[in-house]
Amino acid sequence: MHCSSMTAPSASALSSNRGFHGESRVLIGNGQGSLVGVLNLPAGFKNPPVVLLLHGFTGQKDEFPIAAIDAGLFAHTAKRLAQDGIGSLRIDFHGSGESNDCWEETTLTGQIRDAAVAFDYLRALASVNGSKVGILGYSQGGLIGAHLAAMRPESSVVVLWSPITDPLPTYGIIMGRETVENALLESDDRVVDAKLCWGGETKLKCAFFKELPRLSPIPAIGKYTGPLRVIVGLRETIVTPQPAAGQSLLDCHNGIHDLVEIDSDHDWNASTTIKTIDDLLIPKTVDWFKSHF
């Protein structure tokens, strides 16, 4: 967790190293301040399609570490996308990772705004194909990705990994049902200490919890008609029950879509092996983007 008093920059990128093939750190401005991201452009491809990667709850732009390799899930995915000629931008939402503001100020609507700013940045970026911008969201990032697709229905392709589909009970699992219920009764500015089901603790203002009953991604995804793939783990203990939770998004989506079921937990077995990620999750993701860009 961190706080920053950075002065808000303009709505354009402060630095982007346009045309750079490889990874570069970028700063993307909006009214709140700077979002920090990593732009990955594949070598040998002029104006490639590009995917915006949206991290999960308490996460950051590289996502959680994968066993046996020195890389986070999103950093590893970005390299695999680049091998197939697809660029990517992975961002820290405000209050997360390197981006400014306080984590405890985080709200879902704030993250949706951040995602829209990053999406618009990619649409205007000269070094990528702005007409081919996709979305990849993991867990809470999947919820954000569904809302982003509703706000930006021109999104070319969407893939959602273990997306949160029913926020109120899911965050009851993550932080405890009693914690969530009590937070709903408090004032927006009250700070709540919550223990996380995977270990550790976090602090959030009650404004975060007040949004949970009204920000379902299920009706939101109905406003997006482009290609949608949802990938879920059948041994989930956080976004449950599966595969029904994943299917609920497809039931409201009018367009090309499918559901991929994987024998994994919420983190794609990353604590014990890379095989699930390398042999199933990433290939199923890259193939979808390549087929529909």
138 closest CA partner among 74, 241, 62, 55: 55
Q: What does the pLDDT look like over 167-177, one tens digit per residue?
A: 999 999 999 99
Q: Are residues 267 and 139 in the same domain?
A: yes
Which of 214, 247, 276 is the endpoint of a domain?
A: 214
| pLDDT over threshold 70, residue 30 | no
Residue 208 one-letter amino acid: F
The percent of residues above 70 in pLDDT, for the chain, comes to 91
Which pLDDT score, from 0 to 100, does residue 68 have? 81
Q: Are residues 96 and 64 in the same domain?
A: yes
Domain count, the chain: 2
Which pLDDT score, from 0 to 100, does residue 13 have? 36
Which of 179, 194, 214 is the endpoint of a domain?
A: 214
Q: Are residues 176 and 34 in the same domain?
A: no
The pair of structure tokens assigned to 141 is 């990032």
In this prediction, residue 73 has a pLDDT band, given cuts at 50, 70 and 90, of very high
C-beta separation of 49 from 134 below 8 A: yes
Helix (H) or strand (E) holding 279: none
DSSP state of 124: H
- Does residue 5 fall inside a structural domain? no
The pair of structure tokens assigned to 94 is 């405000």
C-beta separation of 125 from 70 below 8 A: no
- Does residue 79 fall inside a structural domain? yes
Give the residue numbers spanning the domain of 184. Answer: 167-214
- Does residue 8 fall inside a structural domain? no
Helix (H) or strand (E) holding 60: none
In this prediction, residue 11 has a pLDDT band, given cuts at 50, 70 and 90, of very low
Q: Are residues 234 and 203 in the same domain?
A: no
Measure the CA–CA gap between 257 and 110, rounded to whole angstroms: 28
Q: What does the pLDDT look like over 177-208, one tens digit per residue?
A: 999 999 999 999 999 999 999 999 999 999 99
Q: Are residues 131 and 189 in the same domain?
A: no
| pLDDT over threshold 90, residue 17 | no
Q: Are residues 151 and 50 in the same domain?
A: yes
Q: Are residues 125 and 187 in the same domain?
A: no
